[in-house]
Amino acid sequence: EEEVEITTQSDQVLRSPKEVPIKYQIHTHRGNCKMENKEFGYIYCKYGYPMPILDETIILKPIDAKSDGYENAFRNYMKIRKKLEEADSLFRNKKEETTLAVILTQLNISYVDYKDALASSITRIGVFLKRNSKELMINPYNKEL
């Protein structure tokens, strides 16, 4: 069985003619992807973009919405979403990168709280790929398709 690599790598250099050009893998917000969270007064992408910055690929189980920690985790998730939007804007406009450590410090949350926040945003087991701030808007893709 052949192994398939899924990536969010943002290098613009194509290594072979079969590789997918990265420009076709970048998410751009459209009117149909915007949702509003009235409780927090925040408009966000229903597809989860920009994706979270992570130093490693992780697999998370969802947090039950009826559990004790859910409300705080989801509140953190909405704060994280805002920070990721800021990080994406900063990179697009000024080519300045940020890191997970900077976001955690700015939000005054731990890595465990960060993962719990991400888990509060899903309804089934999810894979969150390793990403840096240049790759927040890149769809996961297979370079060889």
> pLDDT by residue (tens digit) across 48-84?
778 899 999 999 999 998 999 999 999 999 899 889 9
- Does residue 72 or residue 94 have the better pLDDT? 72
More confident call, 51 vs 25? 51
pLDDT at 4: 56
In the predicted structure, residue 119 carries a pLDDT above the cut 90: yes
Cα–Cα distance, 95 to 128 (Å, whole number): 24
For residue 33, which phi and psi values (nearest 5 degrees)? -100, 0
**pTM listed for this prediction:** 0.75
Average pLDDT of span 35-59: 79
In terms of DSSP H, where are the helices of the chain? Answer: 70-94, 100-107, 111-120
Structure tokens at 101: 């450590």
pLDDT at 19 over 60: no
> Which two structure tokens, joined as six digits, stand for 43?
């408009």
Q: What average pLDDT does this structure show over 2-25?
A: 52
How are beta strands 42-45 and 34-37 bridged, if at all? antiparallel
- Partners of residue 7 on adjacent β-strands: 141
- SS3 call for 115: helix
Mean residue pLDDT of the chain comes to 79
pLDDT tier for residue 2 given thresholds of 50, 70 and 90: low
